[in-house]
Structure 1
Amino acid sequence: MSNPGGVAELQPVWDSMKREQRAWYWYDWANSAYVTTIATVLLSPYLISVAERDACGQVSDDTFKCREHLSVLGLSVSPGSLVFYVITVSTIVSALLLPVVGAAADRSARKKSIMAGFAWAGSLAACGLFLVTGTNWQLGIVLLFIANICLGASLVVYDAILCQIALPDDRDRVSSRGWALGYLGGGLLLAINLGVVMGHDALGLSTSMAVRVSMLSAGVWWAVFTIIPYLGIRNREPVAVAREPGGLVRQSFGQLWTTLKDMRRYPATLTFLVAYLFYNDGIQTVIASSSTFGEKQLGFETTVLIGTILLVQFVAFGGALLFGRLARTIGTHKVILGGLVVWMLVVVVAYFVPAHNVPIFLALAVGIGLVMGGTQALSRSFFSQLIPRGREAEYFSLYQAGERGTSWLGTLLFGLVHQWTDSYRPAIFALIVFFLVGILLLARVDPRRGIEEAGNVVPRVV
């Protein structure tokens, strides 16, 4: 017979954990402002226009396309390609740097401080984008590089903290609520900023100033709301950390090498990680290419595309919560597999969407929103169950680094198929390969065995 007194004694611990979880959610809300307003929508076209102004002088988008090149570290670079090269370089550097950040974080008793430090450095760089004007594209690429690196590093530690503040049976719920709040916050600020940019004349602002103010608001949003998890989460001493000689840097590299060698002892973890790299690459490519597909292939105006972006953001809020509830009843593994099947249906339907048919395009956006937040949120919580104790940040760094290191595969396939066929329809349909490979690999993962191999407690429903 259970002891009621024991349950009563645990109540303060549970209450404290709930408070930390509520604080933890807010970092998704905080960083999503940068991801949506700056990284996804506003920065690329703005920074390209600044670079074109330096290369070619004042450019009219309607009548003239800049054909001059910039000199970057002695290389000739097209202004229109500049942002994409910077993102590629920052992605590669992140893939190399993040595992070391994760190994160091696992050996530290100040995880929330490391997370917040990277967040505030990244948000400062984001705020600095307000100063990018005239022909000063050099400042823009430096700030973009810093912000992207800091975002990735902060997310490694943020994801690792999930394992400390949520018991195995709670992680799906907690991860889903974090993703949901992120989509809601990012969508709200994006809606406000798109209103500022589109209504800049009524506000007495130039288009350039409206974009700069919007980017500044995203940086401030990121910084201010990071205060909530910083104050609400407590630091904890590291656990089960293997002894390594030397100082922190040498210990971190040593721990990373040990982990890479030991990963073969956790085949389920490794298989899931490879599966995630494939299907997440498909997800990211669909997200990145959807506006191009809508404009170039289906002939939609910018207002339709903006409305679709906002629709996806807000539907993803509900989708993340819905998937979290489903996971509690039928298991995370099965729900992710079901979500990937829906992703495959999305790309099949996209192939047949008639041009200029707004209702079907919006219905497709609703489908994307429903599965986008849910599959990403549950992937994070499911992976957390497969990580050996004491190596959370390090494994999540491999999760982030692997994602970044392979994120070019989907866009490469998309570009190649379009080049071969001169159509975006078969290009987007080709992405079904990534979801199919992801499903086949994920189906091979035995969740219960993988969790037990990692030495973790198996949730009631997996």
Structure 2
Amino acid sequence: MSGVTEASRLGKFSWALFDWANQPYFTVVTTFIFAPYFTSFVVGDPVQGQAYWAYTQAVAGITIALLSPVFGSIADAGGPRKPWITVFVALCAIGSFSLWWATPNMQSGLIWILVAIVMGSIGIEFSLVFNNAMLPTLTSRKKMGTLSGFGWGLGYLGGLIALFIVLLGFSLPETPAFGLDKVAHEHDRMTGPLSAIWFVVFILPMMLFTPDVKSRGIRKTEAIAVGFSNLLDTLKSLRDYRNIIFFLIARMFYNDGILALISFSGIYAAGLFGWGTTSLGVFGILINVFAIAGSFAGGWLDDKLGSKPTIVISVLGLAFASVGVLSISDGEVLFGLPAAMPTEDSGLFESPAEMVFMGFGFIMGFFFGPAQAASRTLVARLSPPEKIGEFFGLFALSGKATAFVAPLMIGVVTDLSGQQRPAMIVIFVLLMVGAALMSFVREPDR
């Protein structure tokens, strides 16, 4: 790895731009705008809506966990990653664009919206497997943290701009752009097509300017056979890769907690405070400002202290924030202190309960990026060069093998309790277990 030829600045920037391209899907679709709209208006019942959303993420998570190592191994055998990225970006774009037809209080056709949500989640996650696998071929071990952190920071900036577009173009004006009908919630539904178009357009620089692994000159059917064979060999000899396996097991837990925290914080706020699109969008913008700063700072910290310390610090910070969110209920904060809730006459985030929630939200935002960027860097540093795609496939598996558990548990707990708040305990437990398991990981010298 130390002999890696540095890609050009344009090549590395174009690779990082992939994070810019995919982030609006996570920001405006799965977190701040469409997901709360889906749970509150498409289904019509926030509790049942949260359960449905959790089940879609569980289905997507199981699919990703089962297939990502296989695809990564096949890509290693065949060589180039860009063809795979193209296929899965197209799948995500189709699923995302289809969300336009998620109308309020759907009486029929809801199953197709659920399918579209699953398609979008599967497509974007598989595309990340192959994009991440390109990282070690673009720069040296010592600089991977900075490049990875820069990509995450750029991604959050893209999400921030996408939120501004949604708010200023569609949500805040009395007459939204393109004459969208607010009564039919077209300003919320527009986030699907917007994310799809954004993704397709902004991956073009990576496709054009970022160097890819050369083809190994074997047929696709042969690459599939070799990929399966190599994956089976790796799985049989996992004891030879104990360090990376310890890391992947730890990541199973803390990444599951991170994804659940990202996905359900907006949903929880919408149900607790009655936030609409504008409040959620402004909240998302402020979260992304902190996430951008955290990602750039985390990339620098990654190269200075190492990936492991960066991950542990970030996960513990997120666990603290999750407890803070858990401490907020109707009329109370910090597990018992009285705090007024918003009223119809309240200004934006004016109530004390909302202010406390916002404070913990900012802590979340700051630590999201470093935890995820340093995880990507660490697996690149731990993986054998000839198996980089395969191990990034296992990396995706580690993020999804238990990823269905958190949404499923949240869905079940929400259904059984009839409340949103108790489900947040699941997130805290996963984060703390993941941080504890990181003590078994040994990071190599850089």
- TM-score over 0.5 (shorter chain): yes
- Equivalent residue, structure 1, for 2:242: 267
Picking from 365, 368, 384, the partner of 1:388 is 384
Counting matched residue pairs gives 415
Residue identity matched to 2:80 = R
- Equivalent residue, structure 1, for 2:196: 219
- Equivalent residue, structure 1, for 2:76: 106
Picking from 367, 370, 376, the partner of 2:366 is 370
Residue identity matched to 2:162 = L
Picking from 281, 299, 306, the partner of 2:256 is 281
- Equivalent residue, structure 2, for 1:127: 97
| TM-score with structure 2 setting the length | 0.82
Quick one: distance in 1 between partners of 2:420 and 2:12?
Answer: 42
Residue identity matched to 2:19 = D
- Equivalent residue, structure 2, for 1:337: 312
- Equivalent residue, structure 1, for 2:282: 307
Residue identity matched to 1:144 = I
Residue identity matched to 1:91 = G
Contact (CA 8 Å) 1:113, 1:230: kept in 2 or not? no
Residue identity matched to 1:18 = R
Quick one: distance in 1 between partners of 2:425 and 2:205?
Answer: 42
Shift of the 119–446 alpha-carbon distance from structure 1 to 2, 3 Å rule, reads: same
Q: CA deviation at 1:296?
A: 4.5
Q: CA deviation at 1:122?
A: 2.4
Task: Give RMSD over aligned pairs.
Answer: 3.3
Contact (CA 8 Å) 1:336, 1:379: kept in 2 or not? yes
- Equivalent residue, structure 2, for 1:210: 187
Q: CA deviation at 1:85?
A: 3.5
Q: CA deviation at 1:320?
A: 0.5
Shift of the 222–269 alpha-carbon distance from structure 1 to 2, 3 Å rule, reads: same
| TM-score with structure 1 setting the length | 0.79
1:38 matches 2:8? no
Q: CA deviation at 1:398?
A: 1.5
Q: CA deviation at 1:116?
A: 2.8
Quick one: distance in 1 between partners of 2:380 and 2:270?
Answer: 38
Contact (CA 8 Å) 2:257, 2:406: kept in 1 or not? yes
Shift of the 269–321 alpha-carbon distance from structure 1 to 2, 3 Å rule, reads: same
1:402 matches 2:398? yes
Residue identity matched to 1:98 = S
- Equivalent residue, structure 2, for 1:184: 157
Q: SS state of the match for residue 385, structure 2?
A: coil
> Comparing both chains, which one has the higher relative contact order based on Cα–Cα distances under 8 Å and sequence gaps of 6 or more?
2
Shift of the 421–318 alpha-carbon distance from structure 1 to 2, 3 Å rule, reads: same
CA deviations over 1:105-133 (Å, ceiling 9, x no partner):
11123212322332134224423444566
Query: Which moved further from structure 2: 248-257 or 373-382?
Result: 248-257
Q: SS state of the match for residue 319, structure 2?
A: helix
Shift of the 174–149 alpha-carbon distance from structure 1 to 2, 3 Å rule, reads: same
CA deviations over 1:253-287 (Å, ceiling 9, x no partner):
21221111122111110000010111111222222
Query: Which moved further from structure 2: 277-286 or 172-181?
Result: 277-286
**Percent same amino acid at aligned positions?**
25
Contact (CA 8 Å) 2:51, 2:412: kept in 1 or not? no
Picking from 186, 205, 208, the partner of 1:231 is 208
Structure 2 unpaired stretches of 5+: 334-338, 342-351
Shift of the 130–411 alpha-carbon distance from structure 1 to 2, 3 Å rule, reads: closer
Quick one: distance in 2 between partners of 1:228 and 1:283?
Answer: 29
Quick one: distance in 2 between partners of 1:213 and 1:424?
Answer: 27
Q: CA deviation at 1:306?
A: 3.5
CA deviations over 1:373-398 (Å, ceiling 9, x no partner):
11111111011111111111111111
- Equivalent residue, structure 1, for 2:142: 169
Q: CA deviation at 1:98?
A: 1.6
Shift of the 327–93 alpha-carbon distance from structure 1 to 2, 3 Å rule, reads: closer
Contact (CA 8 Å) 1:343, 1:435: kept in 2 or not? yes
Structure 1 unpaired stretches of 5+: 1-9, 53-60, 68-77, 449-457
Quick one: distance in 1 between partners of 2:296 and 2:321?
Answer: 20
Q: SS state of the match for residue 391, structure 1?
A: helix
Shift of the 387–411 alpha-carbon distance from structure 1 to 2, 3 Å rule, reads: same
CA deviations over 1:346-387 (Å, ceiling 9, x no partner):
233334452432332222111111111111111110111111
Query: Which moved further from structure 2: 230-239 or 244-253?
Result: 244-253
Quick one: distance in 1 between partners of 2:412 and 2:58?
Answer: 18
Q: CA deviation at 1:246?
A: 7.1
Quick one: distance in 2 between partners of 1:125 and 1:282?
Answer: 25
Quick one: distance in 2 between partners of 1:80 and 1:266?
Answer: 39
Residue identity matched to 2:237 = D
CA deviations over 1:37-78 (Å, ceiling 9, x no partner):
2233444466678976xxxxxxxx6xxx699xxxxxxxxxx8
Q: CA deviation at 1:32?
A: 1.0
- Equivalent residue, structure 2, for 1:149: 122
Quick one: distance in 1 between partners of 2:154 and 2:441?
Answer: 29
Contact (CA 8 Å) 2:73, 2:230: kept in 1 or not? yes
